[in-house]
A and B are shown apart, each in its own frame.
Chain A
Amino acid sequence: MEHYSMNLTLKVWKQKNATAEGNFETYQVKDISSEMSFLEMFDVLNEQLIHEGKDPIAFDHDCREGICGMCSMYINGRPHGPWHGTTTCQLHMRAFKDGDTIVVEPWRANAFPVVKDLVVDRSAFDRVIQSGGYISVNTGVSVDGNTIPIERENADKAFAAAACIGCGACVAACKNSSAMLFVSAKVSHLALLPQGDVERKNRVLNMVAQADKEGFGSCTFTEACEAVCPKEISITNISRLNSEYLKAGLSADKAH
């Protein structure tokens, strides 16, 4: 595909701080290369804003190679933009045409309050993980990786679930602001492996309870989460979470 450069109109959410009202600001960017990443285009814009003495746009980013889960832009009505299975940092400007108008918003959910501009506070996910997304291991000499045999099929499913980078696109896309794809990926990852067996019941009960407490909604299987997930986490993980929750909830014999 041929390289080309483009001029774009950007409508970006600007919000001074968590309590400020916030509004859309319109920016023009010129000579953007089709080979730039979306975040590099934002770097160009921010440099331009700094030169003009204006406030640059705050946005989250870290690894810029699609594995950290920090970038979190809602671009033209879709988390992480128009490409399937792609984080914002891996979205390239060849997804757009010269003269396009691009609307960029932060993730919207009560549980993800805006900190500034496009930056949202996703510490709710950290608290969900703290409530049960771990396993107990003996410290000391590390054991051989193949000591515990694991069925190949389960290993593959666990690995696919573990690919979740916790970016929050599932919450951003869900009409219920449900975090179930995230929670279920973490529950499935450990439920499918023998190492996860010790905390199995408490894990799913505690993680769902924490997600509820954070203000995430319930899953109604609209499948929007699966469609926008940059790591293509399967919605079947939510069925597995439900199954785990039913087994744990019906058999657990202590107050939670």
Chain B
Amino acid sequence: MKWSDFFTSSVGKKLIMSLSGLFLIAFLVVHVGLNACIWAMDDGVMFNKAAHFMGANVVPRVLEIGLFAGFLLHIIQGLALEFQNRSNRKKGYAVKMGSKGSAWYRKSMGLLGTLILLFLIMHISHFWVPSRITGLEPTYIDGKEYHDLFGRMAAVFTDNIGIVILYVLGCISLAWHLVHGFQSAFRTLGLTNHKYIRLINGLGIGFSIIVPLAFALMPISFYMGWV
């Protein structure tokens, strides 16, 4: 079987969604862990150093290219699948099934993904673009120059309730997307043993609550003056 046939079949397309999704889940772990440095209560010294490492070291910079590729693959394939699948029923039902037998978030991955995409565009323009392209105010730690990303976070979130709310909504979309996506990714990879399915379901729900909650607490912390 040719690779092209394998990855363009209905199962292969889902495999791409599964693998790119798991890759993005791994990225979330790195992202949330690094950002948690804002709570070191040292006016952002640890966080700015950590962010500096991610921006200056060659390994994370190369991985960053992979990250963008992973995002693009997941977004483009996801949208393509959503439209292809919808087109398989040209004439719909007069009485819809609604949530009978299928929870709303399991059927709304396209919508949730699109909301996350909109959030992502705003998020990248807030932080990645100034840090990597247009430039940020420098800060000096032990005489060495660093990008003041901590200061940038403070500027974006402090006294800006609208942006804080948009970030929290983005995190809520992410949470619901993960509740389905986490375990669905493993089922697509062929997990059939119920012992492991239960484990993955539990891990998935835990991950979907803890990680988006930690992310949501970041803008809230700046707004409330906790950091």
Chain A interfacial positions (CB closer than 8 Å to B): 11, 24, 74, 76-78, 103, 105, 108-111, 173, 175-178, 180, 205, 208-209, 211-212, 215-224, 226-228, 235-236, 238-246, 248-250, 252-256
Name the A residues within 8 Å of B144 (CB-CB).
none
Measured in the bound complex, the distance between the Cα atoms of B205 and A128 in whole Å is 36
Q: Does B192 contact A (CB under 8 A)?
A: yes
Interface-lining segment among B3-11, B42-50, B167-175: B3-11
A255–B2 Cα distance when bound, in Å, is 6
Contact A236 B194 (CB under 8 A): yes
CB closest chain-B residue, reference A24: B94
Q: A205, A215, A224, A248: which contacts B102 (Cβ < 8 A)? A: A224
Q: A208 vs B9: C-alpha distance in the bound complex, in angstroms?
A: 8
- In the bound complex, do residue A217 and residue B84 qualify as a contact, i.e. CB atoms below 8 Å apart? yes
**Distance, CA A254 to CA B194, complexed state (A):** 33
Residues of chain B at interface, number, CB under 8 A: 45
B interface with A by C-beta (< 8 Å): 1-2, 5-6, 9-15, 81, 84-98, 100-103, 106-107, 109, 180, 183-184, 187-192, 194, 197
Closest to A247 in B: B190
Q: Is the CB of A108 within 8 A of B89?
A: yes
11 further contact pairs, Cβ within 8 A, besides A238-B187, A243-B192, A256-B2: A77-B97, A78-B97, A108-B92, A176-B86, A217-B84, A218-B84, A220-B85, A220-B106, A227-B101, A245-B11, A246-B190
Give chain B residues whose Cβ lies under 8 Å from the Cβ of A74. Answer: 93, 95
Cross-chain pairs A/B with CB under 8 angstroms, 22 sampled = A11-B94, A74-B93, A74-B95, A77-B95, A78-B97, A103-B94, A103-B95, A108-B89, A178-B85, A178-B88, A211-B10, A212-B9, A217-B84, A220-B81, A221-B180, A223-B101, A226-B101, A228-B101, A235-B187, A243-B192, A256-B1, A256-B2
